[in-house]
Structure 1
């Protein structure tokens, strides 16, 4: 193990207090001593290991026990500075590219297949656009400026703009006079909460890991709640539920509660669609008309509102 620790030290990784073989561990680096900007992993048998400083290494570096060549030469500070400058330049170029792409898209004016499939029209979709291929384009903003885009195809496939950062970016479904701020992971989840809870604005963070970042940056006054995805299938596979884990981290920052669905899917739109399907199946065919569907939708929205409001709290003062 001492050889592996010497190896990671030679590559600018600051060893953690405890080493856990068989698992990747995030670590501080000499380049960024206040951030865990590196990763290490030592195999269970202690004979092979890997490390990566994300500011320097494009791929993980491998160490093997007993190989003298495993140790690196002293860190090249000039190389680190060049790599950092290259990354900043690439990020700036990707951000400008995202803004240019957004400008080339047409405003969303009518129903979109993705939205229709989720049970919605264009209400709550201010600023959304459609690209030349017909995909929905959602601007990802920070302080009013576009950092990246989320492109959503008609079949629901989602992609972020290549190379652009998503950290701290969000999309706000605003409502004048809102008395509650709800933080959500995905756009369809955000629209579901927006329609179900008449008094709320919704902040969409786009991915679970971004929820605590966005909640901290956009700390609201008054009532707030975090509307989580319930990744129970992921938890069954890996023993962790990222949706709930990051949502609780965001909620802890604000001092508010977490509302999450319990259904075959994972998010609040899955809950909405499953409830509508189940209720429609229980109706006689002759009663499956527009008014009945609207009444069922109103009933499900009322259930969602009750579950969300039950977890709403006043945001804890700083």
Structure 2
């Protein structure tokens, strides 16, 4: 294995601690030490291995144990620079394309089938639009400018704008006089929290991996909390809870607490929908005065507010 690791290091890839043969491992590189911009794999028998630095190599490079000394593959610096310039240009074009697409959409009026299906009103939906196919369009912003878009079909299918970056992007659901800032993963979760917690402003990060990234850039003061997705089924399958792990990392950066739902679903909207359904079903054979769905929802929202506010702490000053 030592010869393979020499080959890896000679090609500018940083071998992670505890490296084991038999599977592809994402690695940091000398050129990009903050990113896992490379991959390595050593076969179980230790006789063949592969590596790839995505900024350098078009395809994986093979190593064989009987090839002798480890040698670095030749690097075409001009080719690397050209590819990087091409990627930058493609990203710029995708971002401009997202802004053009958003400009052609119609502002959201009244409601949308996706919101209705989630039991949500339009409070907090400032800036949302609807495209020609009837998909809900959510601007993904950074420093007030659109980086990308999330489109959601009436049935709940989700797509990001092709080629545009989502890193650092967020959607802020603002409220005058808000005293608590809530960071969440998904849009439906964010709108649920916003409508359940009357004194909140909500920041939607759009995916678990983006939670710590957005948290690093939050500089507001006041009360704060991260409302996590609870990926319990994923945890049972692979031993990790991606939504909760990312939320805890973000909460550590902000110095705040984490509130997560306990239900058969994964997020706070799932929790709200399940609690409303249970309460409605529980009235079926009751002789007491029936509550309307709106009254039940108000009670469920009050429960969510209590659970969230119990975890709220002062945002750490940066």
Give the stretch that moved more between structures: 177-186 or 278-287: 278-287
Distance in structure 2 (CA, Å) of the matches to 1:232 and 1:74:
46
Q: Which runs of structure 2 are paired with 1:167-186 in the superposition (5 Å)?
A: 167-186=167-186
CA contact (8 A) 2:10 2:70 kept: no
The alignment's TM-score, normalised by the length of structure 2, stands at 0.92
| Within-5 A mapping of 1:124-163 | 124-163=124-163
CA contact under 8 A between 1:11 and 1:75: conserved in structure 2? no
Unaligned runs of 5+ in 2: none
1:78-111 Cα distance to aligned partner (Å, 9 max, x none): 2221121111111111111111111111111121
Q: Is 1:298 matched with 2:308?
A: no
Query: Does the 8 Å CA contact 1:235/1:241 hold for their aligned counterparts?
Result: yes
Gaps of 5+ in 1: none
Give the aligned partner of residue 188 of structure 2: 188
3-state secondary structure, aligned to 1:208: coil
Structure 1 residue matching 2:202: 3-state secondary structure: strand
Equivalent pairs counted in the alignment come to 318
Q: How does 1:28-67 map to 2 (within 5 A)?
A: 28-57=28-57, 59-66=59-66
Of the structure 1 ranges 217-226 and 171-180, higher mean CA displacement relative to structure 2 is found in: 217-226
Q: 1:285 to 1:5 in 2, by over 3 A?
A: same
Per the alignment, do residues 313 and 45 of structure 1 end up closer, same or farther by CA in structure 2, a change over 3 Å counting?
A: farther
Aligned residue number for residue 8 of structure 1 = 8
| Distance (Å, rounded) in 1 between the aligned partners of 2:313 and 2:22 | 40
| 8 Å Cα contact 2:149-2:160 kept in structure 1 | yes
User: Aligned partners of 1:233, 1:296: CA distance in 2, in Å?
Assistant: 28
Question: What's the counterpart of residue 214 of structure 2?
Answer: 214
The verdict on how the C-alpha distance between 1:37 and 1:68 changes in structure 2, with shifts beyond 3 A counting, is same
Relative to structure 1, the CA distance from residue 242 to residue 130 in structure 2 (aligned partners, 3 Å threshold; closer, same or farther) is same
Counterparts of 1:128 and 1:69, CA distance in 2: 59
Secondary structure (helix, strand or coil) at the match of 1:66 reads: helix
Taking a change above 3 Å as real, the CA distance of residues 244 and 23 of structure 1, as seen in their structure-2 partners, is: farther
Tell me how far 1:218 sits from its aligned partner: 1.8
Normalised by the length of structure 1, the TM-score is 0.92
Q: Does 1:317 align with 2:317?
A: yes
- Is 1:242–2:242 an aligned residue pair? yes
Which stretch has the larger CA shift, 2-11 or 200-209?
2-11
Q: For 2:202 and 2:137, how far apart are their aligned partners in 1? A: 18
**3-state SS of paired residue (1:7):** helix
CA contact (8 A) 1:183 1:227 kept: yes
Does the 8 Å contact 1:10/1:75 carry over to 2?
A: no
More displaced 10-residue stretch of structure 1: 9-18 or 228-237: 9-18
Tell me what 2:272 maps to: 272
Report the secondary structure of 1:137's partner residue: strand
Deviations 1:161-201 (A, max 9, x none): 11110000000010011000000000000001001100000
d(CA) in 2 for partners of 1:60, 1:231: 33
- 1:285 deviation in Å? 7.7
